Amino acid sequence: FRKTLQDRLKASMKAKDKLSSTILRSVLADVYAADKKTGTLIDSSAIQSLLRKAAARREESAKQFETAARPELAENELKEAQLLKSLLPPQLSEAEIEAVLKPIISSSRLSTADPKRSLGVLLKAFYQEVDRSRVEGELVKRRAEALLNST
């Protein structure tokens, strides 16, 4: 994933696309800072997590600019967030999440006496099969709770 970002940066620089090259440089700076902090190269899922956080920060900034009556700045932040999201692989849909959760529920013996413990066991098993960067945590939790309550 790192190589993809570097290649996109080179392409945007050659195309003289200032917005893309600036955003990609800032993302790569975050990646390099994380590398330095950990002492090793971070993996693709950590890079994707950094991208999601950066996009969320920009969306939050856009909301604040909107409330401050600065639509031109909000529009710029939204463009940056959209660019960051375009770099990410698609997240799993609800149906795909359920397709992973249902076999886990049927194969494991989850106690109905302690629903919080059952949820914890289910989520742990889910994240052993699926990379965290591919799903939205809150959506997984809601679907898991709904499936546990329906059994």
For 12-59, the pLDDT digits (tens) are 999 998 988 999 999 899 889 988 998 888 888 888 888 888 888 899
pTM: 0.66
What pLDDT, on the 0 to 100 scale, is given for residue 112? 61
Tell the CATH topology of 1-87: Hypothetical Protein Yqey; Chain: A; domain1 (1.10.1510)
For 69-113, the pLDDT digits (tens) are 888 888 988 998 888 888 888 878 888 888 888 888 777 766 666
What pLDDT, on the 0 to 100 scale, is given for residue 2? 83
Residue with tokens 């990379």: 131
Helix 18-38 / helix 71-87 crossing angle, nearest 10 deg: 60
